[in-house]
Chains A and B, each alone.
Chain A
Amino acid sequence: MTAPIVRVTRCSKWYGPVLGISDISWTLTGGVIGLLGPNGAGKSTLMKLAAGLIRPSRGTVEVFGQAPADSPEARRRIGYSPEHESSYDDLTGREFVRFLAHLAGVPKQDADGAAVTALDAMGMRGAMDRKIGGYSKGMRQRTKLAATIAHDPDLLILDEPLTGVDPIARAEIIDRIRKIAATGKCVIVSSHVLYEIEALTQTILVIYRGQVLADGDLFAIRRLIDHRPHRIRIVCDQPRVLAARLGAAAHVTKVEVEGTTIAAETNNPDACYDVIGEAVTDAGVKVEELTSPDNNLGAVFEYLTSDGNRHRARITE
């Protein structure tokens, strides 16, 4: 079994009377994991705990087998990008990244090269010799990300890394993060924008009010929410024929037809897809479009965090 990169065991964190996270246990073995949750859910607290910036009030946090808050060695393998802007405005982007790379353990003679390479990777080469004070929000974000990767950490902790970044740069950064993860690096990334997480990973950790609501593969989590019917939307040339077949199936709880579009709800999506397949082969129904609105991250997130549906889902590999 792969040794965990991050292991959080029965961890709680209070800020005075305010609860950050409560009794969270969680293990991360690799890849990209998306941290989801509304503001104040505890995402940043969990990230700071993993980065060694704060200590748990109760429980333990281990990164690479060591408590990050006590281990400079463990922190050397971490690249942390905080949510809030934090930079020295009177330094140039190059000076800033060089300083942080040097601080993270890159020797002085190599720090400039590492900084330039990282800035180049984030599309900042052209502006790297300008003062950070004159940067746009997106440029600051990219500079911060360059500082996060300059020392080639094994674990990237990115708190809202795409905030304020323009769409083209966003796509580039997402691509870069995916490539970094593909080399065996581990990435923890949080975002309020669900499609950003969806573009990065199918593995999520949903936090709500300081507790883990769901952890694991997005589709597996969706499958666990069985008591809520899955919605399937079909556009075809013979909606009445297909709707009749679907209506006859026991697992289909609702069928609505509007023009050429069928909206069905089922407790067993796989069986439902079988019925559609049979209609295509037996009755010659031509399906133009088949979508499942519930299988996106937004639907799962909305369901998990909505009042009255509070429960935990945990996927084990």
Chain B
Amino acid sequence: MSQPTNSRGEIHDLGYARYAGPRRPPSASWQVIARQQIAFAWATWWRWKLALGFAVVTTAIGAAILYFVPGGGADRTIAMTTAFYRLPAFIVTMTLTSTLVARDVETGAFGFYFSRPVRPIDYVLGKLVGNFGVMASLLVAGPLLLSLVRMAVAESWSATQAALPMMGVTLLVGVVAALFFTAVPLAMSALLGRRWLALGLWAGYYVPLTTMLAVMGSLRWTPLMAADPPHALNALAFRLGGIKFPSNDPHPSLEASGIALAVVTLAALVAFAAMVMRRGSSSVGASS
């Protein structure tokens, strides 16, 4: 047993004013984590701002092409430009997303999260939403802006209306890409729990592994090319927009691309959530 609490009416000088204001509902914890993710990404030039600069330049060049070279190739220009946004997205995965959860594991930050009114699902949602926001600023905002430019520079009202479906396509492809670039690196980060390993795995997966699969697919079995995210996302953009591919090289089908991206992203989401639940419940830190 311990000492009883002080039952006498005394006023104690704590030397500081205790917080006595209102409390936020615990169900909003994921929003706090999401906002912190965005603030963290924004805090340095190399995590997000550099990539955002790339995206802005890409958008400016795409908009200039649409403005100065109007006509029938506009949809193709937009579809082709979407590929250029994946470079800054990849940079962000390397500077931020692929190391985030591993960093929390390494520093023991899970202890801080889960000793507060934060559930593992809040953590998962917060990290996903925050990083999706960062990715969407590159992969959704840029292409969407180009679609708007395309509509603005259309010669006629009917041309503007004809450009509307492409806006839907860029939005869908952008969201799918942003989900992929958020979920997969986060999952790898959670699975490995070590920053450099997670970084290596993600880079190894995105650059050599899937590229090799794409090469093998182009030589042997075209659907295998859908395992390469850039090819799958290109196929989505061109095939959904009904746009002719710029080259006669083989390209995966719409179905294969959609399925491949959905499977990888869903698997990553499940793995991410499962690992956080596991790490959250087994906790961190001292041995005793």
Q: A residues near B, CB below 8 A?
A: 2, 15, 20, 27-33, 37, 39-45, 48, 51-55, 69, 72-73, 75-76, 78, 80, 82-91, 95, 99-108, 110, 113-114, 117-118, 120-121, 147, 150-152, 157, 159, 176, 179-180, 182-184, 186, 201-203, 215-216, 315-317
Contact = CB atoms under 8 A, between A and B. Distances in A.
A54 B281 contact: yes
Contacts of B26: 72-73, 76, 105
A106 B3 contact: no
A82 B286 contact: yes
B2 A31 contact: yes
A151 to B, nearest CB: 6
A44 B286 CA distance: 7
A301 B113 CA distance: 34
B261 interface: no
A5 B64 CA distance: 67
Contacts of A27: 1
A90 B43 contact: yes
Interface of B: 1-6, 10, 12-24, 26, 29, 32-33, 36, 39-40, 43-44, 107-109, 111-119, 281-288
A40 B4 contact: no
B14 A33 contact: no
B108 A182 contact: no
Given A41-B288, A44-B287, A152-B18, A317 B1 contact: yes
Contacts of A120: 16
Contact of B114 (A53, A84, A176): A53
B111 A86 contact: yes
Contacts of A53: 111, 114-115, 283-284
Contacts of A101: 19
Contacts of A43: 288
A215 B1 contact: yes
A79 to B, nearest CB: 8
Contact of A54 (B20, B118, B282): B282
Nearest to B27: A72
A84 B107 CA distance: 9
B19 A31 contact: no
B115 A29 contact: no
- Tell me the dominant secondary structure on chain B's binding face: loop
B21 A110 contact: yes
A159 B115 contact: no
A152 B32 contact: no
A80 B115 CA distance: 6
Contacts of B111: 53, 80, 82, 84, 86
29 contacts: A29-B1, A30-B5, A30-B6, A31-B4, A37-B288, A52-B114, A72-B26, A73-B117, A76-B117, A80-B115, A82-B284, A86-B109, A87-B109, A95-B39, A99-B32, A102-B32, A103-B29, A103-B112, A103-B118, A104-B117, A105-B26, A106-B24, A108-B24, A114-B21, A117-B17, A121-B14, A183-B14, A203-B3, A216-B1
Q: Lowest 9 A-B CB distances belong to which pairs?
A: A31-B3, A30-B5, A86-B108, A72-B117, A121-B16, A80-B115, A44-B286, A72-B26, A53-B283
A2 B4 contact: yes
Contacts of B114: 52-53, 75
Given A103-B33, A179-B15, 14 more contacts: A29-B1, A33-B2, A44-B286, A73-B117, A82-B111, A82-B115, A82-B284, A83-B285, A89-B107, A90-B43, A106-B19, A182-B10, A186-B5, A203-B3
B147 to A, nearest CB: 34
A100 B23 CA distance: 13
B8 to A, nearest CB: 10
Nearest to B33: A103
Contact of A90 (B21, B23, B44): B44
Given A83-B285, A83-B286, A72 B119 contact: yes
Contact of A84 (B6, B12, B286): B286
